[in-house]
Structure 1
Amino acid sequence: MLAEPLQHNLLQICVLCTLQIFGLYIVAFLLHSIHNFFFHFENLNLHYLLFIHFWMISYFFMIVKPITNEDRIRLYHNLVNSRRTLVDTDMLKKPQDTGGGFLRNTLRRLSKHRLEKLRQEHGSLTDHGETYKGFPYAYWAFSRSMIPQSLHKIPEVEEQVALQVFQIILTYAGLGQNGDTVRSMEEEHVNLIQSVMERCMRKDVLLTELYLQLIKQTTDHPDPNSRVNLRHWALLSLAVSVILPPNKAVRKYLLTHLKRCASDYVTEEGKYARFAEKCMSKTQGTRRRQWPPSREEIMCTINRRPIYARFHFMDGQYHAVEFHPSATAKDVMEIVKKKIGLRETALGYAIYEVLGNSERSLVPEEKVADVMSKWERYRMANVAGVNCPATANGNSTSVVVGKTCRRQHHFFLFKKHLFLDDYMDLSDPVEKELLYHQVLHGLRSDRFPISEKEAVSVRVSQYNTLVGVAVVVVVVVLVDTSSVLFHSVFPVAITAHTSTKSCDPLLTPPRCSPPNDKRECMRQIASWTAQGLSPVMLTALQAQLEMGDCGDVLEDYRSIASHCLPPRFVPNIPHEGVALHHQSLRGMTSAEAKKAFLNLIQSWPLHKATIFDVMQSFTSNWPRVLWLAVDQDGLHLLEHRSRNALCSYEYDSILSYSPALNCLMIITGSEKKQSKVILTTSQAFQIANLIREYTEVLQSPKQIRHNRDVNPKKKIISQSRPVSILHKPVPIIDGTPS
């Protein structure tokens, strides 16, 4: 005798086959009608007719293949076997026996084995032959009323919480205390879902109980298309997209339940089951969530839609990207790369969460939806006037004013994270544009050592005084300790009339006296260049890139300077000096100007480093406020806003590092002598993660072999040292606040 649910599935097969036969007749009729209609038009392009026929034939083949009766029976038996496996694990709580009828009193004298065999074969009149070891069909199926006890064995302390969870599920579905239909506001529904998920995510026993209750409420509802049933399915779909049951037997039971219900292609229940099965496959094997789903995530998931978020870029633009609730930062990053046309092999990028002046790179395994849930909690804390939660860099970025937190806006930022030589390809126009705007942002944020008193070498290569005009070619060479990294020739025209006592303000730098004495004029030009060449050169290149060739009218370059210089430089930018260099760039295209701009940035040996503001107190010989630069070579301590490097620690010399809430400890040295560096910073976890990611990449055989070939002496020195972080397993940064 077939069970009633299986009889219901057979009815669905008959309905589906009837609809498909009816659909075939409709397709044939439409093909015949369209062919007769277009046959009367002689000038109709044959391609349009073939396209229409192809579309109709494709629709014919896209008709859902019917599931056979054997498939449904197999899925049904898999579900029953999963239930019996749960019963055999002895984790379920036996339902209370509410009555003792004639059958029970009669069979009491029978042996336990024989009684169990009789129950398996016949069951009762209401359980459709599914009773197994005292667990009837009603234990597994939908219930309109409150359950008397939890479905599996849990501590007494959690028993009442489990019953409250089931009551919340009934309320969300629209059922009251006595099974009556109750309608509430959508806002209340979201609050109910968040309260249920938050309670159950804290303890595994409650999470297991939640799934057993949701599977029960979505099993064999009398009306599969009813609002109550679809509400239960929406809640189950949300749960599997957030976190899966920790118990393997329950997880197997969930999968068989979803597969059986997903075979229904007639009702809305089948659509939700297929959506939930897809969510489960994507959630499986991912990192566990820390926060309950946000309101936006709830509304998207219960409507079977992917969630979306805006991802900003350094040029001020953004893209709205859709992704699954269980998508990790690595998954979303690949979607963003495809969206902007960045090649798939581009490495070193990351997604940052930004709040005010604080930013944090997401770990590749971190779930983006979890970060959005944390943001919502932050906003709710602001509205409620309580302390804001700490961000992932170890401290709260909010500013408390009175009893409330200052409201700040969160957003996602996509940019370069690891600046390794193998990870950069300026021949790719998309990556070049991303790096260019990231450099501009670093300049505006005062993360490059721009100084008006920067040391440069100025050499007069030509001085010609034909018809009172002196042409000076100023060769600017920014020199590194080992090699010349940037070489650019800027012809500077200086109009000088021996009869006049002043220079042309458009062509002559400020403070330039009449060039009656050639040496005095050259000395003044060199002095002016040494004081303000770098900001002027950057502004001139940016002006050539944005405005093109310099005109005859003196421009106000402050708006251009604000795009590439820190705010402290903008008010005092010398317009005449910028115009002088801008004129020397005449004829340079935008692409050439951008390339020259990047070449000028690359003149700083640490232009690929990530800069952090830190403070030190372990020596009085250094300033208290310093820069910490982290790049592919190691760690570098510099004077604040200066090129002057105080010391550098290569990764081979770093023995260990340990981040704390507001400080970072780094141990360096050799076996005989070790030194401890303690830096005070609010970005200790961010710095530690960056060091970990760099060392993880450098541990690859290719990088290690390259470093040994380039520096063979360092290999001999490192043999007398303790094992450095480059030759240890990559540590796990524990205790990172989220």
Structure 2
Amino acid sequence: MGDYPTKQMQSRLELTDQIFGPATKYEELRDEIYCQIMKQMSSNNNRFSVEQGWQLLWLCCGLFPPSQSLLKHTQRFLESRRRETLAADCLQRLQSSLRMESRKLPPHQAEVDAIQQNSTQIFHKIHFPNDTEEIFEVATNTRIKNLIQNISKKLDLASADGFSIFVKTHDKVLSLNDTDYFFDSLRQITDWSKKAKRIKDGGGPVNVPYLVFFMRKLWFNVIPGRDAEADRIFHFPQELPKYLRGYHVCSKEEMLNIAALLFRIKVSNDKNQLVMIPKMLKELVPADQLKAMSENEWKKSIVSSFNKQAGMTVEEAKAAFLKVVCRWPTFGCAFFEVKQTSEPSFPDIVRIAVSKEGLTIFHPKTKDVLANHPFNRIANWCSGSTYFHMTIGNLVKGSKFLCETSLGYKMDDLITSYVTMYLREQRAVQTRNHRFNM
């Protein structure tokens, strides 16, 4: 609040961390924080100090409520100062925090920045796979599931099911838990990244830039054409890179048809661009198929397919691409190249695909299926920074599949999410049957 000189310069976030960090962990400290802020604002003639105090109290009321014994005093304090700009908002936040679970971590930078600008509204940029972004209002008590619903509604999606919020840092892309508070999740990820970076760089202040993405995570009930907005913003841009990396098995005819569609998406109906096809092949043909024909043969065949699609718009071409790839069993899969150490008959490097059906292991070059493991056959799984392990079949007598990978956390999270979804569906069916039989 600026009433006492400080020995060293500290950022606003460092100060709010010192004030609220311990109280988010230990409930016994919460009343003390409320008392200290209110006491320092009472009979304080320094206007600057009082303004800082209101900002702190505003943050405090959104994090956790005081105990029942202090609640009436806090409410009376706020009600007796209704002329103050933030008093009514603090009171409202206090009532809200009484009804909800307390926050687990101190305020995020965005919350501190907002209230320092005397703004009680907090906005955050959300990025989408089609290289667009939008600003969304996010409150102190906004949970991930609320934000998913808000985004889905604003984008006019047919359903929010299967979508998730992801945070991308310099070295990881992490999916956020639906039930967590948005700002708690951000703090947890950026704090963890800061700690890891500080250890790596040998101490000192660390800045961790991050981006928040909204993407499809679980690919079930995805039928191209059913939700045009979801196809345009998510399904097409999320599926295209997998196709170009050569993860799918497809016929030459399908590849030529898709190459012509992708060319149309790039240039629309501009036939003057046909001469550019040889230079654009990496953006039109799967990486492992580029040498299947010469550049001129590719060009000739793609032009022929392009002419057959005459009159098609860019959006229709995107929809046509999805209608082809959705027929393949690998549509909607998440792919991971890992080093396996448990199956002597498999190559050292295998490609694992996680889909709504379960987990499939492929030969990375021939794309032959080496093994299929439906979710109900996977007894357990675990991951660390360098591995992913799972047990197939019986937990005691089952076979173990061991992998070396830095993306184990992603595989773990995806399998957990699919299994959780199926268990939720199972419980819903059982509940309906129970009601029907009563």
Deviates more, 1:645-654 or 1:635-644: 635-644
Counterpart of 1:655 in structure 2 is 379
Contact residue 657 and residue 666 of structure 1 kept, 8 A: yes
1:194 lines up with 2:17 in the alignment: yes
Counterpart of 1:485 in structure 2 is none
Larger RCO of the pair (alpha carbons < 8 Å, separation 6+): 2
How does 1:225-244 map onto structure 2 within 5 Å? 226-242=47-63, 244=64
1:300 lines up with 2:114 in the alignment: yes
Contact residue 340 and residue 403 of structure 2 kept, 8 A: yes
Q: Provide Cα deviations, 1:216-246, integer angstroms capped at 9, x if missing partner.
A: 445xx2369933333222212212323x26x
Identity %: 19
> 1:296 and 1:275 mapped to 2: Cα distance?
18
> 1:645 and 1:405 mapped to 2: Cα distance?
48
Counterpart of 1:542 in structure 2 is 262
> 2:48 and 2:107 mapped to 1: Cα distance?
22
Counterpart of 1:29 in structure 2 is none
1:555 corresponds to which of 275, 279, 284: 275
1:443 lines up with 2:243 in the alignment: yes
Equivalent position amino acid for 1:415 in 2: M
Contact residue 447 and residue 611 of structure 1 kept, 8 A: no
- Distance change in 2, residues 1:362/1:642 (3 Å): farther
Contact residue 335 and residue 354 of structure 2 kept, 8 A: yes
Counterpart of 1:321 in structure 2 is 136
How far the C-alpha of 1:627 sits from its partner, in A, is 1.8
How does 1:217-228 map onto structure 2 within 5 Å? 217-218=40-41, 221-222=42-43, 226-228=47-49
Counterpart of 1:330 in structure 2 is 145
Counterpart of 2:362 in structure 1 is 638
Q: Provide Cα deviations, 1:640-686, integer angstroms capped at 9, x if missing partner.
A: 26532111111222222233343232222258952122222223333
How far the C-alpha of 1:371 sits from its partner, in A, is 4.0
> 2:91 and 2:279 mapped to 1: Cα distance?
55
1:628 lines up with 2:352 in the alignment: yes
Contact residue 168 and residue 213 of structure 2 kept, 8 A: yes
Partner SS, residue 556 of structure 1: helix
- Distance change in 2, residues 1:705/1:380 (3 Å): closer
Counterpart of 1:416 in structure 2 is 216
Q: Provide Cα deviations, 1:17-69, integer angstroms capped at 9, x if missing partner.
A: xxxxxxxxxxxxxxxxxxxxxxxxxxxxxxxxxxxxxxxxxxxxxxxxxxxxx
How far the C-alpha of 1:702 sits from its partner, in A, is 6.1
Counterpart of 2:436 in structure 1 is none
> 2:226 and 2:355 mapped to 1: Cα distance?
22
> 2:318 and 2:384 mapped to 1: Cα distance?
41
Equivalent position amino acid for 1:236 in 2: L
How far the C-alpha of 1:289 sits from its partner, in A, is 2.4
Q: Provide Cα deviations, 1:470-489, integer angstroms capped at 9, x if missing partner.
A: xxxxxxxxxxxxxxxxxxxx
Q: Provide Cα deviations, 1:598-645, integer angstroms capped at 9, x if missing partner.
A: 122123212122222322111221111222222221111112265321
Contact residue 355 and residue 408 of structure 1 kept, 8 A: yes
How does 1:119-138 map onto structure 2 within 5 Å? none
Contact residue 539 and residue 564 of structure 1 kept, 8 A: yes
> 2:209 and 2:236 mapped to 1: Cα distance?
25
Contact residue 654 and residue 669 of structure 1 kept, 8 A: yes
2:178 corresponds to which of 327, 347, 364: 364
Contact residue 343 and residue 401 of structure 2 kept, 8 A: no
> 1:254 and 1:308 mapped to 2: Cα distance?
32
Gaps of 5+ in 1: 1-172, 177-181, 389-399, 457-528, 707-738
Counterpart of 1:259 in structure 2 is 75
1:431 lines up with 2:246 in the alignment: no
Counterpart of 2:434 in structure 1 is none
How far the C-alpha of 1:582 sits from its partner, in A, is 1.4
Equivalent position amino acid for 2:124 in 1: A
> 1:687 and 1:656 mapped to 2: Cα distance?
13
Equivalent position amino acid for 2:260 in 1: A
> 2:205 and 2:13 mapped to 1: Cα distance?
25
Partner SS, residue 363 of structure 1: coil
How far the C-alpha of 1:183 sits from its partner, in A, is 9.9
> 1:581 and 1:429 mapped to 2: Cα distance?
24
Equivalent position amino acid for 1:329 in 2: I
Counterpart of 2:433 in structure 1 is none
Partner SS, residue 67 of structure 2: helix
Equivalent position amino acid for 1:192 in 2: L
1:599 corresponds to which of 323, 326, 333: 323
> 2:246 and 2:111 mapped to 1: Cα distance?
36
TM-score (norm 2): 0.81
Counterpart of 1:346 in structure 2 is 160
Contact residue 375 and residue 410 of structure 1 kept, 8 A: no
1:690 lines up with 2:409 in the alignment: no
Counterpart of 1:387 in structure 2 is 199
Counterpart of 1:666 in structure 2 is 390
1:699 lines up with 2:419 in the alignment: no
> 1:273 and 1:447 mapped to 2: Cα distance?
59
Partner SS, residue 403 of structure 2: strand
Residue-pair matches, total: 423
Partner SS, residue 699 of structure 1: helix
Partner SS, residue 199 of structure 2: coil
How far the C-alpha of 1:316 sits from its partner, in A, is 0.8
- Distance change in 2, residues 1:404/1:615 (3 Å): farther
How far the C-alpha of 1:537 sits from its partner, in A, is 3.1
Partner SS, residue 337 of structure 1: helix
How far the C-alpha of 1:560 sits from its partner, in A, is 5.2
Partner SS, residue 86 of structure 2: helix
Partner SS, residue 614 of structure 1: strand
Contact residue 275 and residue 304 of structure 1 kept, 8 A: no
Contact residue 215 and residue 257 of structure 1 kept, 8 A: no
1:174 lines up with 2:2 in the alignment: yes
Of Structure 1 and Structure 2, the greater helix share is in 2
> 2:51 and 2:427 mapped to 1: Cα distance?
55
Root mean square deviation, CA, Å: 3.8
Contact residue 325 and residue 369 of structure 1 kept, 8 A: yes
Equivalent position amino acid for 1:621 in 2: S
Partner SS, residue 618 of structure 1: coil
How far the C-alpha of 1:403 sits from its partner, in A, is 8.9
Contact residue 545 and residue 590 of structure 1 kept, 8 A: yes
Partner SS, residue 213 of structure 1: helix
Q: Provide Cα deviations, 1:409-450, integer angstroms capped at 9, x if missing partner.
A: 4211111011112x6573222112121122124335x27336
> 2:428 and 2:14 mapped to 1: Cα distance?
53
Q: Provide Cα deviations, 1:565-591, integer angstroms capped at 9, x if missing partner.
A: 567777975333322221222233444
